[in-house]
């Protein structure tokens, strides 16, 4: 009988990740769901996602909006559109929103984000929790945004294996694995509820790497995780390799193994899961995830934020994204924690 409760070693994680028997996989996901319900409850919390801008200085080999992709129409949302998104999140009862964008750093950009965070806090009288996902910044910038009112930050390590990292990024100081690790540590130091995560099914990646990823997540001490399948984008160096997309099963096993390893953590059921299976996010919830990030970006620019191909819902608006998600969750009997922040119990602990 495979050990599921209280797993902590690489071998125990690998036992889960390498399981191929569908009945056993179902046992693993059910146990992870049970542990989640017992530890942090059954409700899912929502964070409305605003894709602020697709302008990025970086050139990650996997990402469709990388700086060198000249076929992308670059945009930056006006402050009015961002504030409309915040009003929608408030009205919809989402409890929190996420501001995500390509990576940029300049004093003007820092100030702009600071003012948006303050305006969202004022508009919602502090009711909306604010998560940022704006890439690597120096610690002073992280502190300025934290003091303005953002209290969560997502920065994926992408892979915990530095050699693999160097195969999926250009080898220069802008794309340094060590710098990425330092940025995650800086976020924890500043006081953010910090999230990291990885892509699953990357070219050159092994099950060993994925087990190490989960141990990295545990050891660095983050409070939230967003993991999802790597998905191909043809206009990227990695996409041109033509590697097939991984199965949802491996992603679900990663979610369950993480829940069993860290019962209190917040785990997102990511949009990329929905690309492999229309019910991918809901299935991830039933495998141990507890956070979903419905898209609130205005329809006019959604197609310009295609980090991977076949991104779902690019023709939808915030209302449609909300009703489709609600319908899917209701079908699976999953309850939503409306108007709640749903902070990580790992952080409070």
Which residues in this chain contact ligand SF4 in the complex, by CB under 6 A? 56, 58, 60, 63, 65-66, 102-103, 135, 307
Considering only the stretches 10-18, 143-151, 225-233, 287-295, report the one whose residues sit in contact with ligand SAM under the rule CB under 6 A. Answer: 225-233
* Cβ closest to ligand SAM, residue 145 vs residue 230: 230
Position 246 contacts ligand SAM (CB under 6 A) = no
C-beta of 228: minimal distance to ligand SAM in Å? Answer: 6
d(CA 141, CA 281): 32
Position 230 contacts ligand SAM (CB under 6 A) = yes
C-beta of 205: minimal distance to ligand SAM in Å? Answer: 12
**Cα angle at 286 between 281 and 290, to 5 degrees?**
70
C-beta of 270: minimal distance to ligand SAM in Å? Answer: 8
Interaction partner, residue 66 (ligand SAM, ligand SF4, none; CB < 5-8 Å by kind): ligand SF4
Position among 4, 98, 168, 231 found at the interface with ligand SAM (CB under 6 A): 231
C-beta of 32: minimal distance to ligand SF4 in Å? Answer: 28
Lay out the site mask for ligand SAM across 117-136 (x = CB under 6 A, - = otherwise).
Answer: ----------------x-x-
Q: Closest Cα to residue 265, out of 28, 11, 71, 40?
A: 40
Interaction partner, residue 233 (ligand SAM, ligand SF4, none; CB < 5-8 Å by kind): ligand SAM
Position 233 contacts ligand SAM (CB under 6 A) = yes
Query: Could you tell me if 256 and 28 are in contact, meaning their C-beta atoms sit under 8 angstroms apart?
Result: yes
Tokens at 169, concatenated: 């990024």
Interaction partner, residue 230 (ligand SAM, ligand SF4, none; CB < 5-8 Å by kind): ligand SAM
Q: Closest Cα to residue 133, out of 187, 201, 191, 62?
A: 187
The residue to which tokens 């902590």 are assigned: 8
Lay out the site mask for ligand SAM across 288-327 (x = CB under 6 A, - = otherwise).
Answer: -------------------xx-------------------
| DSSP conformation letters of 13-44 | HHHHHT---HHHHHHHHHHHHHHHHHHH-S-B
Lay out the site mask for ligand SAM across 49-88 (x = CB under 6 A, - = otherwise).
Answer: -------x-----xx-------------------------
Tokens at 25, concatenated: 């996989």
d(CA 82, CA 151): 18
| DSSP conformation letters of 110-153 | HHHHHHHHHHHHHHTTT-SEEEEE-----HHHHHHHHHHT--EE
Considering only the stretches 124-132, 155-163, 204-212, 313-321, report the one whose residues sit in contact with ligand SAM under the rule CB under 6 A. Answer: 155-163
Considering only the stretches 39-47, 80-88, 228-236, 337-345, report the one whose residues sit in contact with ligand SAM under the rule CB under 6 A. Answer: 228-236
d(CA 196, CA 214): 11
Tokens at 41, concatenated: 């409850």
E-state strands within the chain: 45-53, 96-101, 129-133, 152-154, 193-196, 199-200, 224-229, 266-269, 291-292
* Cβ closest to ligand SAM, residue 100 vs residue 256: 100
Position 156 contacts ligand SAM (CB under 6 A) = yes
Tokens at 26, concatenated: 């179902």
| Residues that bind ligand SAM in the complex, under the rule CB under 6 A | 56, 62-63, 100, 102-103, 133, 135, 155-156, 158, 199, 228, 230-231, 233, 272, 307-308
């Amino acid at each position: 009988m495979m050990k599921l409760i209280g797993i902590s070693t690489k071998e125990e994680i690998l036992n889960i990740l390498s399981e191929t028997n569908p009945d056993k996989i179902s046992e693993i996901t059910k146990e992870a769901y049970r542990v989640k319900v017992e530890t942090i409850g059954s409700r899912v919390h929502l964070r409305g996602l605003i894709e602020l801008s697709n302008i990025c200085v970086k050139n990650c080999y996997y990402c469709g909006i990388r700086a060198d992709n000249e076929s992308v129409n670059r945009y930056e949302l006006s402050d009015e559109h961002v504030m409309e998104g915040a009003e929608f999140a408030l009205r919809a009862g989402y409890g929190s929103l996420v501001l995500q964008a390509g990576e940029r750093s300049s004093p003007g950009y820092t100030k702009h984000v600071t003012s948006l965070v303050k305006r969202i806090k004022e508009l919602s009288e502090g009711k909306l929790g604010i998560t940022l996902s704006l890439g690597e910044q120096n610690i002073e910038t992280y502190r300025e945004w934290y003091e303005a009112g953002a209290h969560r930050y997502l920065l994926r390590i992408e892979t915990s294996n530095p050699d693999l990292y160097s195969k999926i990024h250009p080898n220069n100081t802008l794309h340094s694995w060590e710098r990425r690790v330092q940025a995650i540590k800086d976020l924890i130091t500043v006081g953010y509820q910090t999230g990291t995560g990885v892509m699953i099914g990357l070219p050159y990646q092994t099950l060993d790497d994925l087990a190490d990823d989960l141990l990295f997540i545990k050891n660095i001490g983050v409070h939230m995780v967003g993991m999802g399948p790597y998905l191909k984008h043809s206009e990227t160096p990695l996409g041109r390799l033509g590697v097939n997309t991984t199965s949802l099963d491996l992603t679900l096993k990663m979610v369950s193994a993480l829940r069993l390893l860290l019962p209190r953590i917040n785990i997102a059921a990511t949009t990329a899961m929905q690309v492999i299976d229309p019910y991918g996010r809901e299935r991830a919830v039933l495998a141990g995830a507890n956070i979903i990030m419905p898209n609130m970006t205005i329809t006019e620019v959604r197609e310009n934020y295609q980090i991977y191909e076949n991104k779902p819902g690019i023709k939808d608006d915030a209302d449609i994204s909300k009703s489709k998600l609600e319908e899917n969750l209701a079908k699976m009997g999953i309850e939503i924690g409306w108007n709640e922040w749903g902070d990580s119990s790992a952080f409070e602990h």
